[in-house]
Amino acid sequence: MIQNLSEVTGFTCLFDDTAHHAIFGSEVRAPMYGVRTAEEMRKVLLDRDADIPAIVYWMMRDLGLKNAPYRKETHDLRFDISYFIPAMFGREYLKTSGHYHPAPPAGGPAYPEVYGVLSGKAIYLLQKVNCIEAAVDEVVVEDCIIVEGNPGDKIIMPPDYGHVTINPLPEPLVMANWVSDRFSSQYGAVEQARGFPYYRIEADAGPRWVNNPRYTKVPVLRTARVKEVPELGLTKDVPLFTAGQEHPELMDWLNNPADYMDAIWSGLEIIGEQQTFELD
Ligand SMILES: [Fe+2]
């Protein structure tokens, strides 16, 4: 079936969710395409030998409009769309491998990011550690947060929090992001740890969070909900692309997070703790 996501995306954008194929309007600059393969994912899975599709998600990077300022060039801001197939990785729900961002050259908090869900549902698992290169038996996990994103939501990945995206539904997840173009993601010791401290799995009793037993000491799993942050250009009714394209000055926090920490954190309201389980 063809899904027309143009209204929520901010430019002409359709997805064929059978062929897993994107169709962009003629006004859209051709993106850089990338894929994540099953083999790249196995190292971070609970069930490493699970039967999983060869390609699990597609990335369309560096999007912009042909006849409008290109924010990658004018403001070092990149707009990407990612498309996740509906699939299970054995007991685990489909997810990304998880990564961190570095700090700007001047130091201070690391670069943040903002995701916008275009279709489907996302669960984001965030974690802060004392050292991203530390081995799993030495690392101190300081905080873990989950937050759910639904179409129209703009979800902030705060500075210094590594993040994993999970597709919890049996339908594709399509999401966009604005992020600084001044860095490359870092993977730290996530592969050695076989993922983040919690796995989202389908158990006999339904979906649940279970501990990754390789981590020795893990904090409680806090739950947050998304809040609009108009001062950072993030409201539910304006497509994420449009917000950054028309008001790139409001996205300065993506390049200079130290000046905006209170506003950044106002986008996540902590609402409780999630029950978690030991692996059977
Ligand atoms: Fe990121």
CA of 204 from ligand 1 middle (Å) equals: 32
CA of 162 from ligand 1 middle (Å) equals: 7
Taking a C-beta distance cutoff of 8 angstroms, is the pair 60, 30 a contact?
Answer: no
CA of 247 from ligand 1 middle (Å) equals: 21
3-state secondary structure (DSSP) of residue 206: strand
Cα–Cα dist 65/136, whole Å = 43
Segment 2-18 mean pLDDT = 96
Confidence of residue 38 (pLDDT cuts 50, 70, 90): confident
Segment 139-145 mean pLDDT = 96
CA of 13 from ligand 1 middle (Å) equals: 22
Cα–Cα dist 235/246, whole Å = 14
**CA distances from residue 152 to 25, 113, 174, 218, 244 in whole angstroms, order as listed:** 21, 16, 11, 32, 15
Letter for the amino acid at 167? N
CA of 155 from ligand 1 middle (Å) equals: 12
Is residue 66 over pLDDT 90? yes
Tell me what pLDDT residue 280 has: 76
Tell me what pLDDT residue 275 has: 96
Cα–Cα dist 119/4, whole Å = 10
CA of 91 from ligand 1 middle (Å) equals: 25
CA of 101 from ligand 1 middle (Å) equals: 6
Is residue 152 over pLDDT 80? yes
Structural domain boundaries in the chain:
2-277
pTM of the predicted model, to two decimals? Answer: 0.97
Query: Which tokens is 1 given?
Result: 């079936």
Taking a C-beta distance cutoff of 8 angstroms, is the pair 201, 92 a contact?
Answer: yes
Is residue 217 over pLDDT 90? no
Segment 203-221 mean pLDDT = 94
CA of 171 from ligand 1 middle (Å) equals: 22
Which of 14-18, 38-42, 162-166, 268-272 shows the lowest mean pLDDT across its residues?
A: 38-42
Rg value, the chain, Cα: 18
Tell me what pLDDT residue 107 has: 95
CATH topology of domain 2-277: Jelly Rolls (2.60.120)
Mean of the per-residue pLDDT values of the chain = 96
